[in-house]
Amino acid sequence: MSDPPATIDRKRGIAAFLSPPFLIAVGLLGATAILGGPIADWLKLVRHKAPLPLVKPLQEMDRNALGPYRVVEISILTPEELEALGTSDAISWWLRDTRPTEDDPSPIANVLVTYNTGAPSLVPHTPDRCYAAHGYRQAQIYANTEIDVTNLPQRLTPVPVRVLTFEKTGIFGGVEQSVVYTFFCNGRFTTSRNLVRSWTTNPFVRHAFFSKVEVSFADTGRDETVELAADLLSYVLPELLARHWPDFESAEEQADNGDARVNE
């Protein structure tokens, strides 16, 4: 016995609803609705991080807060140099430790600090590129180590640093230069460019910033550079943390509280 016409029509209608073209169309509409809503907001959050400006410009660092180190020269970075560093906020200071005697003076130290926030893509620059542009080549493989900084919060010390050694040959002989650097990114120290990228693109945070602190000394070997840098950074890093770098955790907490109030 065959089905009545009304039953046949119903079956045909159900079959049409369950057909692959219809299901695909429904899936596309659903995906569009989702992408146009929460996921769109999430993707936007991934791509665009809110900037966190410095509490105080780097150029206004208190020279008297650097303990026994005295600023002997300030390099004015050109727009081209700032562009090469990938930032508009940077200082390059030359300092000398006043503790050694005049008969046995300490080597001149260069402290280079850069700050990046608010750009669509935060790209960390490392010394190897800058030194290569000035005719140096890497003389030894880099080394990662840690230094104890007593004036930092316990959660931030020991501080990871990376050591690079370069050399340049010339008519009158060669020149060797070692450099120590670390990144301070979203409230944490690291030597890894990949971690900086990961932390600044983390979809679950609203803000992103990083600062690179780089130290080198004139006429010093690799091991001595690390030792001297550890002492100098014990004054530079606490001052940057206390007076200049923003409080990442507080900024994130305020953003979350703002969202909670909006949704109440």
**CA separation, residue 110 to residues 43, 74, 84, 177, 202 (Å):** 41, 9, 18, 12, 33
**Sequence ranges of the domains in the chain:** 5-35, 50-255
* DSSP β-bridge partners for residue 103: none
User: Mean pLDDT across the stretch 2-28?
Assistant: 56
**pLDDT of res. 213:** 98
The string of pLDDT tens digits covering residues 37-86 is 555 454 445 567 899 999 999 999 999 999 999 999 999 998 888 887 87
> What pLDDT score does 139 carry?
87
Return the top range by mean pLDDT from 2-6, 57-61, 258-262: 57-61
Question: Residue 46's pLDDT is what?
Answer: 52
Question: What pLDDT shows up at residue 124?
Answer: 84
Cα–Cα distances in Å, from 78 out to 6, 83, 189, 241? 83, 9, 28, 26
pLDDT for residue 35 is more than 50: no
| pLDDT over 50 at 88, yes or no | yes
The predicted structure's pLDDT at residue 244:
98
- Look at residue 19 in the predicted model and tell me its pLDDT: 64
The pLDDT mean for the chain works out to 84
Q: Which pLDDT score, from 0 to 100, does residue 158 have? A: 97
- Lowest-confidence segment of 35-39, 76-80, 235-239, 253-257 by average pLDDT: 35-39
